[in-house]
Amino acid sequence: MANLKEVRIRIASVKSTQQITSAMKMVAASKLRKAQNAIVKLRPFAGKLAELLQKLSANLENGIDNVYGQQREPKKVLILVIASNRGLCGAFNANVIKSGNNLIEKTYSQATKTGNLQLVTIGKKVTEYYQRKSIKILGSYDDIFDNLTFENVAPLAESFMKAFADKEFDRIIIVYNQFKNAVVQRLVNEQFLPVALPAITPADKGVVPDYIFEPGKEEIVNGLIPRSLKIQLYKTLLDSFASEQGARMTSMAQATDNATELLKELQLAYNKARQWAITKEILEIVSGAEALKS
């Protein structure tokens, strides 16, 4: 049985850990509230804009008119992997890395073998992981979450669009956690470029939508479509950030609960050890008294 000093040290250590995890849970909850408000407000607008973008891309000619919708064989692939800068958020980072590895090793294994697969990473955890691998990292933007605004995200989206338009890449995929609620995050592999065409339902077969372009196709390609893509990337980063805070809050809440349960067990062990020590002292006193009598 552990002595009283050892148990007291363990109790003090667990209490300190419990205070830290509880504080981290409250900080994550505060950040989650702001991030959740931001993504909930943007999501309806971004969703309708993405739907419009798909329909416009399907209607534009697959050529000069639709530079961002050109469907090419994915010989050269860029994967944007979005995780977090810190740990202590459960399997948040591990799931993103696992999904990224699946794309690298299976889905786009041919591009990987020929050296035509590159990565862009956001989040120190995923950057550190892939720096130890043989995959080429085109760029890392780990500090983007420090000031997550549309103005800071737009240049990154522009660089992706330019690389696709210049045929440096045939496909650009984003791997991230999509926010559902504080407890649930859905892992998503989303095609950023080329713009995915809308799914055709049986009722849509043979029906070709006819659009009147105003002011014109060129203005739409040069104005509306690039802005829509920037908003989609901004929404993706907001999703990931909110998911991170939700995962961290849940993880720290579980850690705090575990610490509480462990404290109960340690307190019971301490009481037993203290009772055993007192009983031992009483026995020694009684034995000594009996020895003196005899």
Radius of gyration of the chain (CA): 28
Q: How far apart are CA 233 and CA 42, in angstroms?
A: 12
Q: How far apart are CA 87 and CA 252, in angstroms?
A: 11
CB 148 within 8 A of CB 141: no
Q: Which of 46, 89, 231, 238 is catalytic?
A: 89
Annotated active-site residue 89? The verdict is yes
- CB count within 10 Å of CB 90 equals 17
DSSP the chain: ---HHHHHHHHHHHHHHHHHHHHHHHHHHHHHHHHHHHHHHHHHHHHHHHHHHHHHHHHS-TTGGGTTS-----SSEEEEEE--SS--STTHHHHHHHHHHHIIIIITHHHHHTT-EEEEEESHHHHHHHHTSSSEEEEE-GGGGGG--HHHHHHHHHHHHHHHHTTS-SEEEEEEEEE-SSS-EEEEEEEEESPPPPPPPGGGTT-------SS-HHHIIIIIHHHHHHHHHHHHHHHHHHHHHHHHHHHHHHHHHHHHHHHHHHHHHHHHHHHHHHHHHHHHHHHHHHHHH-
Which residues are catalytic, by number?
89
